[in-house]
Amino acid sequence: MKIGILGGGQLALMMIESIKDEDIDFIVVDPNDNPPASKVAKCVKSDFDDENTLRMISDECDIVTIDFENVPSSSLEFLEKKIIVHPNSHAVEICQDRLKEKMLFQECGISVTDFKKIDSLEDLNDISDQFPEDSILKSRFFGYDGKNQVSLKSYSKEEAFTKCGSKNLILEKKVDFARELSIIGSRQQTGETVFFPLIENIHSDGILNHSIAPYVDMNLQNIAESYHRKLTDKMNYVGILVVEFFLTNENKLLANEMAPRVHNSGHWTIEGANVSQFEAHIRTIANLPIERIKINGFSIMINILSKIPKTLLTELSENERFHDYGKKDRANRKLAHITINHSDKSFLLKRLKEIKSFI
Ligand code: ADP
Ligand code: MG
């Protein structure tokens, strides 16, 4: 079997590395030179909408998936006419647009923070009076790691409008959340979903800093799973979908956004679970069976951004696993992560503090 992956970043790298015993070959498409996944699979340098490349992929592969959610949905539609594509183009199109995403959450009975569509500076001037001063203006498209979003508290409306880099925006009420949580589930071709436990995510400046799993609350776990099921049923989704939530001070889940792919908050599953999110996704789209998910105690995943400290490896013990994506240094770029497992969550928090002091 051959699987094509559109996008050759660290997510593709970890998906490919997760498959050891099955007879699956991979081919990756990426517009950049030497992306992380090119270390482990044949990589074609091409834009995602290049028709020759898409034709080659449809000729060579049995199934296509993505590591990058902003692949043009028209490219996925093109491929869908010829081969199997998971997740489907329609689902990816929804996840690319914060407005469609929020409307789907509401359709599924999932609460979200107050929001309004903004298409012009006039809209922003008219509508922002109905919103608190610290509301957040976000681009509907191409936002990640806190990019293309600003707090109205920090900028004038004109500046905020320009900084979002687009005319297609939404204005969101800031949530005074107690925590941020995510649920990762892989919906099988049968419609059943394999779930990982809830994960707590700590962001700084809009970028994931570290994740701790599991976040143990059976009631919230059941609610998050039921929301995930509603969304994936509605989108006829196959594969891993991740939903990010705010947990309010009243212990209520508000959906923030979702990702139609494996997710940074699930990297701990490589060491922390019997099946990683990466393996679960590939096995799901390849229609291979997946064992029931079991986890090993608590896990923490710490992102390393911008630059990898030279002394890092000497500071880590043998079972503190370092994953280097082989990318060049750049401010706020995700270059690597560390995962640590332990039966005692307080041990992980202590190590977090120690490790954070030198990265
Ligand atoms: P991205 O696609 O960049 O991850 P998010 O909408 O998830 O975009 O925003 C990144 C982070 O910024 C969130 O994880 C959260 O910490 C903060 N944030 C975003 N929107 C809100 C909001 N409405 N209220 C409070 N915090 C927010
Ligand atoms: Mg996010």
Give the closest residue (by CA) to ligand 1 atom 12.
206
What pLDDT is recorded for position 1? Answer: 97
pLDDT tens digits, one per residue of 332-341: 999 999 999 9
> Can you tell me the distance from the alpha carbon of 12 to that of 301, in angstroms, rounded to the nearest whole number?
18
Amino acid identity of 289? Answer: P
Which among 220, 275, 209 is positioned nearest to 246, based on CA atoms?
220
> Can you tell me the distance from the alpha carbon of 21 to that of 19, in angstroms, rounded to the nearest whole number?
6
- Pocket probe mutation, ligand 1, options 145, 149, 180, max atoms within 8 Å of Cβ: 149
CA of 147 to the centre of ligand 2 (A): 10
Asked whether 170 and 157 are in contact (CB, 8 A), the reply is no
CA of 257 to the centre of ligand 2 (A): 6
CA of 34 to the centre of ligand 1 (A): 30
Give kind and range of the element (H or E) at residue 323: strand 320-324
For ligand 1, say whether the CB of 257 is within 6 Å of any of its atoms.
yes
Number of other CB atoms surrounding residue 126 within 10 Å: 12
> Can you tell me the distance from the alpha carbon of 14 to that of 12, in angstroms, rounded to the nearest whole number?
5
For ligand 1, say whether the CB of 203 is within 6 Å of any of its atoms.
yes
What pLDDT is recorded for position 21? Answer: 84
Report the atom number in ligand 1 closest to the C-alpha of 113. Answer: 23
> Can you tell me the distance from the alpha carbon of 180 to that of 98, in angstroms, rounded to the nearest whole number?
18
For residue 10, the number of C-alpha atoms closer than 13 Å in the C-beta half-sphere is 17
For ligand 1, say whether the CB of 200 is within 6 Å of any of its atoms.
no
For ligand 1, say whether the CB of 174 is within 6 Å of any of its atoms.
yes
CB contact set of 160 (below 8 Å; sequence gap of 6+): 124, 137, 150, 151, 152, 154
CA of 145 to the centre of ligand 2 (A): 7
Phi, psi of 43 (to 5 degrees): -125, 130
What pLDDT is recorded for position 358? Answer: 87
Q: Which ligand is nearest to the CA of 200?
A: 1
For ligand 1, say whether the CB of 113 is within 6 Å of any of its atoms.
yes
What pLDDT is recorded for position 104? Answer: 98
Residues of the chain with pLDDT under 50: none
CB contact set of 186 (below 8 Å; sequence gap of 6+): 193, 194, 239, 240, 241, 277, 280, 281, 284, 290
What pLDDT is recorded for position 124? Answer: 96
Give the closest residue (by CA) to ligand 1 atom 15.
206
pLDDT tens digits, one per residue of 70-124: 999 999 999 999 999 999 999 999 999 999 999 999 999 999 999 999 999 999 9
What pLDDT is recorded for position 129? Answer: 93
Report the atom number in ligand 1 closest to the C-alpha of 177. Answer: 25
Asked whether 196 and 186 are in contact (CB, 8 A), the reply is no
